[in-house]
Structure 1
Amino acid sequence: MQRYEDTLFDQEHISNHILKNRYIVGPMTRVSSEPDGTPNTRVHQYYERFAKGGFAAVMTEGTYPDTAYSQGYENQAGLATEKHANAWEPIVRDVQAHGAKMIVQLMHAGGQSQGNDYSDTSVAPSPFQPPSNKVEVYGGQGEFPVAKALTKDEIEDVKDGFVSSARYAQAAGFDGIELHGANGYLLDQFLSENINQREDEYGGSIENRLRLIVELIEDVREAVGEQMLLGIRISQMKATNGTYKWPGGEQDAEVIFSTLGETDVDYIHLSDDDATTPGFGEGTMTMSEAAKTFSGKPIIACGSLSEPEKAASLISAGHCDFVAIARQALANPDTPNRVLEDEPLDEFDAGSIMKPKAYVKDHELDKEMMENQ
């Protein structure tokens, strides 16, 4: 019987990129960059420590791609200007020097924007106000404003922003790009029938609501070529509506994942509360199993996979190819090294780690974690 260590530390590839094990650092909002979105020394240390800790790939936090409507949080990292790209370059280089791939997640906040240095207006597929208040841990407070509907020309501007940012990513040396189509941000807003009320080719049927994602995949792939990894993150739950499920359950999943399977994405990354539980009601497939079954693409599963045995079981069952670790990686930036050496993992402490911006307590914790590498 194969031990879970063997499963988690088998090499595997996505497209032409070989990953040394199955552990990936999931994207986590950290709001620790400069006010203009430029990543700084603190951000550099944050990402490099995961590479030192043995992860096969490190994903950035959701990073905004343009200087119009995409920024979602104050002090969020950007990849919208040459200055941003130049600041990312040494971070990418040092992560890669420790044997890890680095993937930038490009995120347009859409109607979930709660802090934008470039605009006081937020946008969505149609007029939309998120159903819960802003996320206080990321510097927000009170209700979200009502986002205005994007015009057709503005949709083209959104696509141009992603393409431009993808080119910056390529120039900065990133191994890959992930389009953030999950958690209620703009691309997910287009996919969601309860948010997207458009009556043109971007609204209505599920195929139409997928149109922007499919077009973006085509545009970004054309811009960066075949060598860079290109992935998409998908979820049902939203940051402002954690209980949302696709109304058509597995039928919706089949349409969504089979459509993505026909595109040029190299992988699909799932965001879920618990990646091992039924995704669409009792007796149904997990989200990762559905994605694997209907798309045929390599799958990254994320959601309550901190226990190595649990993570390995999902891979062994054929439901996914890689596991993304988020909160546990904050507590244990050397998770792969610890698992490989059979060392205990520290429990995640939300009170001491999930702090916004550059609070002193969080900075001291980061310094301590760096020194313990």
Structure 2
Amino acid sequence: MKHPALEPLRLKNTMLPNRAVVAPMSRVSTHGDGVATSNMATYYADFARGGFGLIIGEGTYTDTRFSIGYARQPGLVNDAQEAGWAKVVDAVHRHGGHMIAQLMHAGALSQTLPEPAGPSAIQPLRRMMPEYGGSGPWPVPKAMTQDHIAEAVDGFADSALRAERAGFVGVEIHAANGYLIDQFLSASTNHRSDAYGGPLEQRVRLATETIEAVKKVVSPDFIVGIRLSQGKVNDFDYRWPGGADDARLLFDAVARAGADYIHLASEGKGWRHAAVLADGTSLTALARHRTGLPVIANGGLHDPEMARWILTEGHADLISLGTAALTNPDWPEKLRQNSPLVPFDHHMLSPMATIEAGWAWLAQSREGSR
């Protein structure tokens, strides 16, 4: 019997050949100019060649003032960066793939800016991530002014327009994992007293304004999704204080603003840890039933039986694979043929999480298996 992940799905006006999605993963692999490289084109085309129905690109910065999260991160803020991504998308298209650009503003979790900015001047928890070029504690960010917020929203809109010109079928607004929009959503990092702070109904404002700004500048058929999460890169165990009530408010708000899909990220510990509340409520199923939008589930879903259960039991419409896709860029083909999967090894991200480091690990692994 055909695995449900291999069934086609229409996402807005884009027909996907299956429900297997490559999750966005930061690869810090540009030459420092934010321009996508030929290696990046090969890397993303490999997923299309391997049969993934949809590929979501790595977090891409949207302005040069406060958005950049990592050294060697790609951007979409100038003509050279737009042209670089166009070559990547063209390589994906040549293998029958569809690609979405993830637009990301790091906010307080910038590992490269000397003076990052966030909703409030609160030092982030824990320490920077060495595999992405950081070391030591996070600096205390400056609190963003109204002008800074407007600039951030404009940056998302401008980058979305560039993404459409580059040939992407859509963009995903990164409102997860502890980055800027998620910082505004979280009461622990947002102590503002203006219209962007206070109760969750106001803290969600940056997310909804960003969706609305992007929708105004792109064409009607262009997909505008949003990624949300409870956990953060610096706090895997964070939970929405209001549980299902907070989830309903967030899902309703982003749907009203015009999101075309919701992607629920599971930071660090898998779907059951991050997307199931203490009372057993499935956040991904709640998002589907609450909004009627397509929902992407994430977190350890490379396991064929887990993926089957998620899709057949109504928890999600699509599944996204992160690290498992790095070792199995042909996961859909392996699923089709019932072939064994290659386990992920964190050494693939050492000494940094670059594409080249991953390729070196794969080459060494193949050599060792001979």
Query: What TM-score bracket applies, with the shorter chain setting the length?
Result: over 0.9
| Count of residues in correspondence between the two structures | 365
Map of 2:180 onto structure 1:
186
- Letter of the 1:139 counterpart: G
From 334, 339, 345, give the equivalent of 1:338: 334
Q: Is the 8 A contact 1:46 1:366 kept in 2?
A: no
Contact 1:233 1:268 in 2 (8 A): yes
Letter in 1 for 2:205: R
Alpha-carbon distance in structure 1 between the residues aligned to 2:193 and 2:321: 39
Identity of aligned residues (%): 39
Instruction: Note the C-alpha offset of 1:290.
Output: 1.9
Question: Partner residue of 1:245?
Answer: 239
Aligned to 1:24: 21
- TM-score under structure 2 length normalisation: 0.94
Given that residues 23 and 321 in structure 2 are in contact (C-alpha distance below 8 angstroms), is that contact kept between their aligned partners in structure 1? yes
Alignment of 1:68 onto 2:68: no
| Structure 1 equivalent of residue 40 of structure 2 | 43
Q: Which residue of 2 aligns with 1:352?
A: 348
Deviation of 1:274 (Å): 2.4
Q: Indicate the SS of the match to 2:121.
A: coil
Aligned-residue offset at 1:278: 7.4
TM-score, normalised on structure 1? 0.94
Greater Cα shift, 260-269 or 56-65: 260-269
- Structure 1 370/259 Cα, relative in aligned 2: closer, same or farther at 3 Å? farther
Cα gap change, 1:183 to 1:361, in 2 (>3 Å): closer
Name 2:52's counterpart in structure 1.
Answer: 55
Q: Which amino acid aligns with 2:189?
A: I
2:133 to 125, 134, 139: 139
Written as runs of structure 1 = structure 2, the 5 A alignment for 1:256-335 is 256-272=250-266, 273-276=269-272, 279=275, 281-335=277-331
SS in 2 for 1:243: coil
CA distance change for structure 1 residues 10 and 360 in 2, over 3 Å: closer, same or farther?
closer
Distance 1:317 1:27 in 2: 25
Is 2:214 aligned against 1:220? Answer: yes
Equivalent residue runs for 1:98-109 within 5 Å = 98-109=95-106
Q: For residue 176 of structure 1, what is the aligned residue in structure 2? A: 170
- Indicate the SS of the match to 1:270: strand
1:51-130 mapped onto 2 (5 Å cutoff): 51-116=48-113, 120-130=114-124
Q: Secondary structure, in 3 states, of the residue corresponding to 2:188?
A: coil
Q: Matched residues in 2 for 1:164 and 1:352: separation?
A: 34
CA gap of 1:20–1:361, structure 2 versus 1, over 3 A, is closer
Residues 185 and 51 from structure 1, CA distance in 2 versus in 1: closer, same or farther, beyond 3 angstroms?
Answer: same
**Aligned 8 A contact 1:292 1:299 in 2:** yes
Instruction: Please tell me whether the aligned partners of residues 264 and 275 of structure 2 are also in contact (alpha carbons under 8 angstroms).
Output: no
Between the aligned partners of 1:77 and 1:369, the Cα distance in structure 2 is 28
281-290 vs 140-149, which deviates more?
Answer: 281-290
Moved more, 81-90 or 254-263: 254-263
Alpha-carbon distance in 2 for matches of 1:87, 1:281? 41
- CA-CA distance at 1:280 after TM superposition: 5.4
* Structure 2 Cα separation of the partners of residues 160 and 370 of structure 1: 46
Paired residue type of 2:211: I
Distance 1:370 1:97, change over 3 A: farther
Task: Please say if 1:206 is aligned against 2:200.
Answer: yes
Unaligned stretches of 5+ residues in structure 1: none
Maintained 8 Å contact 1:49/1:370: no
Q: Secondary structure at the residue paired with 1:262? A: helix
SS at match of 2:314: coil
Distance in 1 (alpha carbons) for counterparts of 2:281 and 2:343 = 29
Q: Is the 8 A contact 1:75 1:357 kept in 2?
A: no
* Kept in 1: contact 2:131–2:349 (CA 8 A): no
Q: Is the 8 A contact 1:109 1:186 kept in 2?
A: yes
Which letter does structure 2 place at the counterpart of 1:324?
S
Unaligned runs of 5+ in 2: none
Q: Deviations over 1:250-306 (max 9, x none)?
A: 111111112222221110000113224574543321221121122221000011111
Query: Using a 3 Å threshold, how does the CA distance of structure 1 residues 353 and 139 change in structure 2: closer, same or farther?
Result: closer
- What does 1:227-242 correspond to in 2, within 5 Å? 227-242=221-236
- Deviation of the 1:367 alpha carbon: 6.3
Q: Distance in 2 between the 1:302 and 1:288 partners?
A: 9
> How far, CA to CA, are the matches of 1:207 and 1:276 in structure 2?
27
2:25 aligned partner, one-letter code: M
Instruction: Please state whether the residue corresponding to 2:231 is helix, strand or coil.
Output: strand
Distance 1:278 1:83 in 2: 38
